[in-house]
Amino acid sequence: MLLKTFGWSFAVTALGLVAAVFYGGWTAFGVVAILTVLEISLSFDNAVVNAGILKKMNAFWQKIFLTVGILIAVFGMRLVFPVVIVAISAQLGPIEAVDLALTDKDRYQQLVTDAHPSIAAFGGMFLLMIFLDFIFEDRDIKWLTWIERPLAKLGKVDMLSVCIALIVLLIASMTVATHAHQHGGAHVDKAETVLLAGIAGLITYLVVGGLSSYFENKLEEEEEREHEEEEKAARAGKSPVKLAGQAAFFMFLYLEVLDASFSFDGVIGAFAITNDIVLMALGLGIGAMYVRSLTVYLVRQGTLDDYVYLEHGAHYAIGALAALLLITIQYEINEIITGLIGVILIGASFWSSVRRNKRIAQAGGPGAGEKAEVSSGV
């Protein structure tokens, strides 16, 4: 199972490290290795959240996620995305932007850094909406019950998460955005840019997430209807295969946008290590491959079913990352801090899950689940 799931990741690692040696010697080898570790540490929570969505998709779409999806993740977000940022911010053509990335690395890094406020606002709002929708939903299993129970009650108010997200964006545009950090330590007013980028992130979440939920619900309704009419020869409505394809497609699209939002901090943080676009693509690409493989592994092993609080910890890590992205509009935060926060939250949720499983086993079975849940604070 391990080799089957991570085989491609191991192969890509070997090829990437060999390519790094040929490109820039052993120094480049070390840079790519560091970037790989950076990407994995920053994106572990991404794998947990993705697994919660991917387990609803069939084996075919899981393969699409691991093949076509990784091409989008590596070439789209880790290579093309930084170049597109430079092209837009500097008003350059695509070819000029690529030439700048390869020939004038310092200028390229400066332009990407100056575009950080809009990147952080877009990604921060998208991730914040994921976090808010999660904590405002009334779930059967709760991790931090003293927080999640009252928030679940508040979540009954329509559009509450959108209102809170807009309030947060407004506050950010009037505070950190007025002294946005730029290349060289300068600070400029980016309130309008942050506001527009944040609204774009919010709209993207609502559109992609809304379509995904719509087709997922349609699929569930179709499955229930077919189950009731399974004795009949003729079945009305759309073909379940076609409907499943629509649902899976939009969930796949949602996963790609989610991955893009998670990758913002990794792409920006990579510039603290190197401004060479080739080494950056190699290191972050290898890391992204491991994150994808880890996602599939969690699904196939049923890890989220066994360790029920992992998804909670990952979403709390998403909320922390969203806050950090908005704060980095003005202040620089070391990537180690960003990565550690996610690791600590997920680690705590994993430990709580282990303790819960032990209590259930000692009590004699799943019937003790409710008691385990109530007493599961961290």
For residue 247, is pLDDT > 80?
Answer: no
Per residue in 295-326, pLDDT (tens digit) is 877 777 777 677 888 888 878 888 888 888 88
CB atoms within 10 A of CB 145: 15
Tokens of 78: 């880790």
In this prediction, residues 343-361 reach a mean pLDDT of 87
Per residue in 252-276, pLDDT (tens digit) is 777 777 777 666 656 665 665 676 7
Res. 243 pLDDT band, cuts 50 70 90: very low
Higher pLDDT, 165 or 230: 165
* Euclidean distance between CA atoms 186 and 113, whole angstroms: 11
Cα end-to-end span (Å), the chain: 32
Per residue in 63-102, pLDDT (tens digit) is 787 778 777 776 777 777 767 767 776 677 878 888 887 7
In this prediction, residues 205-225 reach a mean pLDDT of 69
For residue 376, is pLDDT > 70?
Answer: no
Whole-number Cα distances in Å, 101 to 86, 87, 105, 110, 341: 9, 10, 5, 11, 31
On whether the CB atoms of residues 226 and 235 are closer than 8 A, the answer is: yes
On whether the CB atoms of residues 253 and 212 are closer than 8 A, the answer is: yes
Q: Kindly report the pTM of this predicted structure.
A: 0.71
In this prediction, residues 105-120 reach a mean pLDDT of 80
Res. 171 pLDDT band, cuts 50 70 90: very high
DSSP 48-111: HHHHHHHTTS-HHHHHHHHHHHHHIIIIIIIIIHHHHHHHHHTT--HHHHHHHHHH-HHHHHHH
Please give the angle made by the CA atoms of 87, 90 and 96, to the nearest 5 degrees: 50
State the pLDDT at residue 240. 42
Q: Average pLDDT of the chain?
A: 77
For residue 45, is pLDDT > 50?
Answer: yes
At 331, phi and psi to the nearest 5? -110, 145
Please give the angle made by the CA atoms of 127, 132 and 135, to the nearest 5 degrees: 125
For residue 149, is pLDDT > 70?
Answer: yes
For residue 169, is pLDDT > 90?
Answer: yes
Res. 370 pLDDT band, cuts 50 70 90: very low
Higher pLDDT, 286 or 58: 286
Break the chain into its structural domains and give their ranges. 2-374
